[in-house]
Chain A
């Protein structure tokens, strides 16, 4: 975990990890190798930077089933998820 996030008490890593694996996983696969949605593996996400991923997580991708998670996640939480995905830490 990065030093910035380590001091952030509003992040609950266990809850977010479970949510990414189980609930994002219902479209992206439990191991994040894809399903109806694209793979969220480290290799697949290389072409996007962190802020792009945060934007996709919070606002979704119009015209696709990817929903905006803003009603459920804070920006901090979305950034934490984007960082972890970029590192392959949730696979």
Chain B
């Protein structure tokens, strides 16, 4: 009897010891991916150690690629330019599934319950929605216009309640697709919202959807807590009387809408940010910046926004104080700064410097450079904490 018991203990001990001994157990909360746009690959990084822990290639054309994460933060869904949708296992550094779902696409979103992945398409336009587990297509929502044409879609985000919002670039509309019922999506169309919406985003509380317009000076605002849904214009004619400059890179609204009391919105074609009160959406001031802003990302837990700029002034970063509306720090990070991503609680910021083949890590408080990673033509940086945030 005692011999059997002893044998059992030994067996149990072995079973537990094996994975621990292999040192394979780890969490994913400090992981992230960096897009290597030219190589069609992503580097998997650990934000605590400032290290590259894996690399996954074979992802196609990754210009303008972006990613979202599964709720358990183990899997990344990467949206490529060429219509590729790839599910990557961050722990194993391998592709789980990959589909070519369209000819040309521009990003995507994952539903609040983690079950649906939606992709925004330029060719053939519209939005396609996939099962997050299998990547099997669940719905195809063409953005059909009068005359048989279709529209490119932009600014696709998740909304609470298994919904997605996006804008129709060619049609000037905002659509909300509601997947909460089992019998297919219910679509709400807001028409005539403005010319050429180029991007959209939702505030972190899930209440306000904002779409920037390229074809006219203004921003479209939808209060998602009101019924019926309506689109209203804010910041109408913000550049009135001024000749806009040529725009060599479209601004991105990711991060713009994140401001807690003040939002910083790009004035398209101008070297400035418009500060907007996030309760009544009225302009409270302007900030003169180094160039035409592309991203303005708020450092979590602070009143500072980091801003990068369009070509050819894209070697510089401005740090803007949202209380004083002043640039408090300006520095050169290197040729072609494409993206900035803060660690979840904002102590560091990672910056892609495309033409230097470097990602630089800065202390967000002191602005000191803390680490440098070699990454080939880096662009988007996405940390797994995005899995916990609405609209990311």
Residue ranges of A at the interface with B (Cβ–Cβ < 8 Å): 18, 21-23, 25-27, 29-31, 33-36, 60, 63, 65, 67-69, 71-72
Known: A67-B247, A72-B312. A36 touches B169 (CB 8 A): yes
Bound-state Cα–Cα, A22 to B248, Å: 12
Instruction: Give chain B residues whose Cβ lies under 8 Å from the Cβ of A71.
Output: 246
Interface pairs (12), CB distance under 8 Å: A26-B250, A29-B61, A29-B82, A30-B38, A31-B63, A31-B82, A36-B152, A36-B198, A60-B246, A67-B247, A72-B248, A72-B312
Given the interface contacts A22-B354, A35-B81, A35-B104, does A65 sit within 8 Å of B63 by beta carbon? no
Chain B 28-44 per-residue mask, 1 if CB under 8 angstroms from chain A, else 0: 00000000011000000
List the A side residues contacting B81 at CB < 8 Å. Answer: 29-31, 35
Tell me how far the C-beta of A25 lies from the nearest C-beta in chain B, rounded to whole angstroms. Answer: 5
Smallest beta-carbon distance B247→chain A, Å: 5
**Mask of B43-75 contacts with A, CB within 8 angstroms, 1/0:** 000000000000000000111100000000000
Q: Which of A29, A60, A65 contacts B198 (CB 8 A)?
A: A65
Closest to A60 in B: B246
* Interface SS of A by simple majority: loop
Q: Is B214 an interface residue (CB 8 A)?
A: yes
Please give the residue numbers on chain B whose beta carbons come within 8 Å of chain A beta carbons, in ascending order: 37-38, 61-64, 81-82, 104, 106, 122-123, 152, 169, 196, 198, 214-215, 246-250, 311-312, 336, 354-355, 377
Contact present for A65 and B247 (CB under 8 Å): yes
Assess whether B37 is in contact with A23, with CB atoms less than 8 Å apart. Answer: no
Give A69 to B246 CA distance when docked, in angstroms.
Answer: 8
Given contacts A18-B355, A21-B38, A72-B248, 9 further A-B contacts (CB under 8 A): A22-B354, A23-B248, A33-B82, A34-B104, A34-B123, A35-B63, A35-B122, A65-B214, A72-B311
